[in-house]
Amino acid sequence: MTQIDSDLTILALDTCTESCSAALIKQQQRFSRSANAPREHSQRLLPMVDEVLKEAEIKIADVNMIAYGRGPGSFTGIRICTSMTQGLALGHDIPVIGISTLATMAQMAIDSADAKQVFVAIDARMNEIYWGQFIAVDGIATLVDEEYVTNPDKVTLTLDPKQQIMLCGTGFDAYPDLLAEVDSIIMTDIKLPDAAAMLKLAKVGFEQGLSTTVDDLAPVYLRDTVTWKKLPGRE
């Protein structure tokens, strides 16, 4: 357990990539579980939620807000995360907030390595990557420009190449030459998101009024070929 500045009880869930994770903050204490478990998200996530709730000695009804990984990432993984968030939130009318997969990884670099600039790239298959650029503003990952899905050759660096840029994500494993011409890059060992890093982003988002009702879940696929279907009767 680690200290984190928050008075809210927030549950965070993520299954947008190969990683599956759940985290909870209660009275400034953080509890978390994670596993690299491709194709097992639907079996692993709820037991993780049960474990962090039990460790914190609370029930789901005591949670003030649920933060969910909204993507980008695996279509199936995003669906699982949003569906389970919907199921958990509906019964107790819990507000929800979507957190970017890319921002979560940038936050991990900021928290673990005091990164000031972070470039995140996730292998999107089909010769494409999901990517985004972030700067640290008061210790919070802040998006520069937009999040994209493009061919690696279409990446345009807008971060300051004269300053250190930390790299995160599986996109650099799939495309080792990505940003190789930039002298200031430093590769991190952060490949996949962890829900624990979502807690700080969720708190900031709550303070900015970005939480919504469960009816307004907003997954982000970036690719236009997939649309989110809500549960029957809740369109």
DSSP per residue over the chain, as a string? --B---SS-EEEEE-SSSEEEEEEEETTEEEEEEEE-TT-HHHHHHHHHHHHHHHHT--GGG-SEEEEEEESS-HHHHHHHHHHHHHHHHTTT--EEEEEHHHHHHHHHHHHH--SEEEEEEE-STT-EEEEEEEEETTEEEEEEEEEEE-GGG----S-TTS-EEEESTHHHH-TTTTTT-TTEEE-S--S--GGGHHHHHHHHHHTT--B-GGG-----SSTT----PPTT--
- Domain limits of the chain? 10-100+193-216, 102-187
Give the global pTM. 0.91
Q: Given this model, what pLDDT does residue 1 score?
A: 33
- pLDDT 10s per residue in the chain (235 long)? 333 445 899 999 999 999 999 999 999 899 999 999 888 999 999 999 999 999 999 999 999 999 999 999 999 999 999 999 999 999 899 999 999 999 999 999 999 999 999 999 999 999 999 999 999 999 999 999 999 999 999 999 999 999 999 999 999 999 999 999 999 999 999 999 999 999 999 999 999 999 999 999 889 998 764 333 343 343 3
What architecture is domain 102-187?
A: 2-Layer Sandwich (3.30)
Output the pLDDT for position 223. 77
CATH fourth-level superfamily of 10-100+193-216: ATPase, nucleotide binding domain (3.30.420.40)
Fold: same for 10-100+193-216 and 102-187: yes
